[in-house]
Structure 1
Amino acid sequence: MRKLHTSASTRRERAAQSGRVRIGAVLTMSAAAAVVLSGCAAPADDAAPAAARTDDQTARRVVQVAPAPEPGSGYGPLLEGPTFAADGRLIAVDVTAGTTRPKVVRIDLNRRKVTAFGDGAGLTAPTSAQFNPRDGRLTVTDFATGKVVSLDGRGGGLRVEFEGPVDGRRMQPDDLTFDPDGNMFVSDAAGNAASTEDPVGRVVRIDAATHHATVVVDALASANGIAFDEDHRGLWVSEYNRNQIDYVALDSEREEATAVHPAIRPDAGASRVDSIAVDAAGNVYQGYEGKPVIDVFSRDGASIARVSVPRSDGGKVTSATNLAIRPGTTQAYMTVSGPGGSFVYGFRAYGKGTPQSNGG
């Protein structure tokens, strides 16, 4: 069963991991007690099914970021965490860069030029990036170490924002998002290898002032994508091992969850849901590991569109895990990876971007 924590108190190696969660009705015990959602009360089929799409489009390739891997070299590039810097350039991370490629890159989309953003020192497997509205620093999750760190405007000056256990267990931080006050919400992808009857993924809140971490929601089947809705009243959270998008309603202080329910069931097939982004109109963009598409849903769960890569590129790329929308515009860019390397593709968004219209 899933618990909503009401007191203050990722993936990666994904291919070898699995998990599951069941979502049920919210039972409020008391102001100080946890709110429990029973696994028997409401099956996952309550999530809105994908409906007929009306506005599909094909994305265009903008730039190649990393080359195809050498035969026998292990993992290929996995581009993630796209976010727009104040100068208009796109920042992204390479999860599997190791010591052979830049871990954080800066992409000039107009000139189609890719450069390293800092030397990557102190990072092991960065999975997401987001600019903190409080101080403007680039905040990065490191899946391998369980840390959340930040970088200055040149990609250096690494500062640890959070490390250590949360409620007795180290995080596997995957994606992140900020509220307007700079409080951080992180998806803890733990549980990919756990029993399907005992999912342990979480949403963790890290306070902007104290850096104290509290669990907002637990018992998730490997929490992955996370993004605030358009008015910062709740969070959209994707469960990697359930192929489901949940909606988490928050209290007025954005400190505790008041309810959570299965909201959207994408047509994932053999792929897995990955990062989530939201535009100014409230549309939800869902990326995937295992197929190079982005699905777009309205706030009420209606399927608006699917954004795909050209068919001629299908064998070169296999995942479109994340995206970012340039603030104030409908210029959208998705991170796409596969045997042919990693790339950025462009498409028209279905609503204007905000400073955090990206998958974290």
Structure 2
Amino acid sequence: MRRITIRVLAGLAAAGMLTLTGCGTQPAATADGEPAATAGRTITAERLARLTRPHEETGMTLLEGPLLDERGRLLVVDVTAPAGEPKVIRVDVERGRGTPFHTDDRGAYTSAQFSPHDGRIYLTDYAHGEIVSLAPGGGDRRVFFTGEVDGAPMNPDDLAFDREGHLYVSDSRGLTEGTAEGRLVRIDRNGEKATVLAEDLAAPNGISFDEEYRGLWFSELTENRVSYLRLDAQGEAASRHTAIRVDGGIAQTDSIAVDAEGNLYQGLHGRPAMAVYDRHGARLATVEVPARHKGLESATNVAITPGGTRAYMTVSGPAGGYVYTFDALGQGIRQSNGG
């Protein structure tokens, strides 16, 4: 992939940094002395590991798609890694060390997720319009889906699985042109049928089921908004509405994760921070990296330990690609582990 293409991809794939006003370190109090929600709460994340430096070939690095396996080991993708360098990295979260997990000479991967159907790791290749899968231990790369959907090629960014293993993908078509041509696409678990659930979207990026699998939260990068798509019993679109408007300033909305309480963790591109909302759209907290940590420009996504609250956030910039940790507001579930 040429350098300019990778740069454009990074601006697209890393979507979302949300600038929030009125932040303090302590929650406000109500008239009766009880804490008022947690509207002013700031959570400071701690640095766990530096995994990458900017690549000479692409001029940058961009970590995404954090994913925990059954043994608690973390996987992350490096969107801009050139051929031959690790495109998927395994992280020992106890030691804070990364080791190569997968590389190839083609993919520009923007997300990762385990399938509940076959247990394989699925990766979205934004640059080539493909979804590929790997064996749980790495290797055995297979192209799961490629080609046009309703007469147009895809730029798949993030993905989510339903309980049966069908895929729901954010297709960021139109990003580089600045046109609202994006879509949400459902692909059956055999890769044989693709259906457009929503279209004319402004560079959709983050996508996640809610905690009860009733619908999908998705973000639009160039509109800085999060919408909710309710699904029917067949997994088709039933209704759609704008749920949260993000005042991002120079930052834009990236990937989304959802915890067991239904809280949304909205990744940010343009600021190394993450905004946390409840299911009703109230902002609960902002996750920040320490101000003294310079050279960081995005916090793209997060994985929360299944059944626990330890969270792993991917953070990148000219200083390199890092993993930071913090305590999430709710326990981790499938919707907060990859995608």
Q: TM-score range by the shorter chain?
A: 0.7 to 0.9
How many Å apart are 1:101 and its aligned residue? Answer: 2.6
Query: Residue 181 of structure 1 corresponds to which residue in structure 2?
Result: 164
Q: How far does the alpha carbon of each residue in 1:264-307 deviate from its partner, in whole angstroms, 9 at most, with x for none?
A: 01231111110000001100000011110000000000000000
Within 1, Cα distance between the matches of 2:292 and 2:181? Answer: 40
Within 2, Cα distance between the matches of 1:194 and 1:260? Answer: 25
Query: Residue 95 of structure 1 corresponds to which residue in structure 2?
Result: 79
Query: Residue 354 of structure 1 corresponds to which residue in structure 2?
Result: 333
Letter in 1 for 2:40: T
* 2:277 is the alignment partner of 1:293: no
What are the residue-to-residue correspondences of 1:54-203 with 2, within 5 Å? 54-69=40-55, 73-99=57-83, 101-118=85-102, 120-121=103-104, 123-194=106-177, 196=179, 199-203=180-184
CA 1:243 to 1:99, structure 2 compared with 1: closer, same or farther past 3 Å? same
Within 2, Cα distance between the matches of 1:205 and 1:122? Answer: 28
Within 1, Cα distance between the matches of 2:332 and 2:11? Answer: 35
Q: How far does the alpha carbon of each residue in 1:72-129 deviate from its partner, in whole angstroms, 9 at most, with x for none?
A: x5431100011111111011100000126300111010011211113x2264200000
Query: Residue 189 of structure 2 corresponds to which residue in structure 1?
Result: 208
Within 1, Cα distance between the matches of 2:9 and 2:50? Answer: 24
| Identity %, equivalent residues | 49
CA 1:126 to 1:355, structure 2 compared with 1: closer, same or farther past 3 Å? same
Query: Residue 30 of structure 2 corresponds to which residue in structure 1?
Result: none
**Count of matched residue positions in the alignment of Structure 1 and Structure 2:** 313
Normalised to the residue count of structure 1, the TM-score between the two structures is 0.83
Q: How far does the alpha carbon of each residue in 1:39-73 deviate from its partner, in whole angstroms, 9 at most, with x for none?
A: xxxxxxxxxx9887232111000000102455xx5
Within 2, Cα distance between the matches of 1:274 and 1:169? Answer: 23
Query: Residue 270 of structure 1 corresponds to which residue in structure 2?
Result: 250
CA 1:123 to 1:281, structure 2 compared with 1: closer, same or farther past 3 Å? farther
* 2:240 is the alignment partner of 1:260: yes
Q: How far does the alpha carbon of each residue in 1:107-153 deviate from its partner, in whole angstroms, 9 at most, with x for none?
A: 010011211113x2264200000000111100000011100010002
Extract structure 1 runs of 4+ deviating beyond 4 A.
14-17, 49-52
What are the residue-to-residue correspondences of 1:21-36 with 2, within 5 Å? none
Normalised to the residue count of structure 2, the TM-score between the two structures is 0.88
How many Å apart are 1:154 and its aligned residue? Answer: 2.3
RMSD over aligned Cα atoms? 2.0
Q: Secondary structure of the equivalent of 2:212?
A: coil
CA 1:122 to 1:323, structure 2 compared with 1: closer, same or farther past 3 Å? same
Contact residue 234 and residue 250 of structure 1 kept, 8 A: yes
Equivalent residue in structure 2 for 1:238, among 206, 219, 230 = 219
Letter in 1 for 2:318: P
Within 2, Cα distance between the matches of 1:124 and 1:69? Answer: 15
Q: How far does the alpha carbon of each residue in 1:221-269 deviate from its partner, in whole angstroms, 9 at most, with x for none?
A: 0110000000000000000110100000110221x11111110012311
Q: Secondary structure of the equivalent of 1:312?
A: coil
Unaligned stretches of 5+ residues in structure 1:
1-9, 18-48
Contact residue 73 and residue 90 of structure 2 kept, 8 A: yes
Contact residue 69 and residue 341 of structure 1 kept, 8 A: no
Within 2, Cα distance between the matches of 1:211 and 1:12? Answer: 32
CA 1:11 to 1:219, structure 2 compared with 1: closer, same or farther past 3 Å? farther
Q: Judge which range, 92-101 or 324-333, deviates more.
A: 92-101
Within 2, Cα distance between the matches of 1:176 and 1:98? Answer: 23
CA 1:221 to 1:51, structure 2 compared with 1: closer, same or farther past 3 Å? farther
Equivalent residue in structure 2 for 1:319, among 288, 298, 307 = 298
CA 1:232 to 1:146, structure 2 compared with 1: closer, same or farther past 3 Å? same
Query: Residue 341 of structure 1 corresponds to which residue in structure 2?
Result: 320
